[in-house]
Structure 1
Amino acid sequence: MAAALPGARALILSWRAPRVDAPLLSHADRLELVAHTGSAVAPYVTEDVFRRGILVTQAGDEMARPVAEVALAFTLSLLHRIQRFDHSLRGGLDWAAAVEAPPRHEIHGSDIGVIGASRTGRAYIRMVRAMGARVRVTDPYLSDAEARELGVESVPLETLLSGSRIVAVHAPVTEETHRMLGAEQLALMPDGAGLVNTARAWLVDQDALLAELTTGRLDAALDVFDAEPLPVGHPFRSLPNVLLTPHQGAGSVECRQRLGTSAVNEVLRLLAGRPPVHAVTAEALARLR
């Protein structure tokens, strides 16, 4: 990348790109913009970028809908115990044994708890509310007016956990949210409840979650893990009450196309002398991991 920077006014980053730090920036004599095609810029951008007055943008808005759709699919699967039935039939159980599962529920009328009214969280809220779910939200930054506009009840985390049939995690990765769901919090969830995590493994104590799931008391649908790729021998892979996907919540063809288009449009705005639409500030970067 260093060889391509001299004379460049804009740099587009994607996953697994090198970190833009002071040594790399020493090759960038004209750089004005770093446009990331994902949402989390913290792994790729350092404070050196902002000290140079270089603009930073991200494309997280384009990821909200597909990730919310996956969270919705997870929710429906957990409510209807689809992952348990699939595991039973693939595992060779006879029909009579395979139909044995905890009670199933429809999403209409179910109490859904959402941790984090983020872009993805709000997209998910709109989807489940359209299907008749009752939604509670925990988010310290959600105002009463915003909660009313979303049609949700804002409650403390403990209340949300103890009263939700499904808990969907959509909080950002910050120091405050690290393992915000540990053994104590997971123990508050009712028997038979389900946990949906399409956000980050950072938010959940994976060992505590595994301990709960091993008892069969809870179900979970997970797209994110402490170690990625998830080791072949990890216990999650063999549990009948767990639905797994390999961190592909935003992997749709349409989303990938929009992510690239979003970054290119930011470059075009720069060249036209217009401000970016999805700028990230140094203050925001300091809050996020």
Structure 2
Amino acid sequence: MTEKLTTRLRRLTSQPDACVMAPGAGDAFMARMLARAGFEAVYMSGFATSVTRLGMSDVGLLTASEMLDNTWRIVDASGLPVLADIDTGYGNAMNVLRTVRDFEKAGAAALHMEDQVSPKRCGHLAGKRVIPAAEMVSKIKAACDARVDADLMLVIRTDAIAVEGIEAAFERAERYREAGADMLFIEAPVGREQTERVARHFKGVPLLYNMAASGKSPDIPADELGRMGFRLATFALYGLLAAIAPIERMLGELRRTGTIGHLRDSMATFKHLNEIVGLPEHQAAEARYGVPEDEQTRL
């Protein structure tokens, strides 16, 4: 029997002293690249989704339906366990009931929900606000009640460090754990010292570490994070960040010279692109199902 994606992620994040790396994907293409690269999990980042779908920053403009649609596309394209960002749950506890049910049906292996006021914003942007802890506790309880698959992991995030201080963030996270959080996500610890405080305070509790690009939280290798007690590490935007400079260079050269002939050797080939998006498998299926040769797809 094939192992469920929810069960697989539970198993992977239960390994002692190990931290699963989940790079960010905002679309199905990046999700395919992550699977081809050998990663074991994907993070459907709200920021990456906002960039790729809206061309905008993560400032609470995406709707639940847009994120839901993106979740099932990324699950389908990658075949990997996907941690889906469900922001604030898109409303109160009653909205959370529907949100969790819908994202579970879409195939997410884990969901992370935060305690920000709506409209939320990226956890590494200034000006965040948080809802009362008691309100968040009710939303967590609703999320726990909503799931059908007990292996669906609920990752509960607090953004309180930047708003109320680290001690308040610890108090909130303790309440969230008691309410049913499977994993805690203490967002945006500043520097190594705060990161180590988080790990010490919640020793023995599964933790998520967000390797964000803002520079607030330090770059720490996954094996070291695992020893500290972090069981899942997300890398939300690094695929996009790595692509921006070469794309800008190519566009600048095209605008300046009117040709890309001199750049071809520095770019992926059309054949390689089609390998990533599964054209060979499509061609094999055409042959297997007897599609006439004159109708078969060819490079």
TM > 0.5 = no
Question: TM-score, normalising length from structure 2?
Answer: 0.35
Q: TM-score normalized by structure 1? A: 0.36
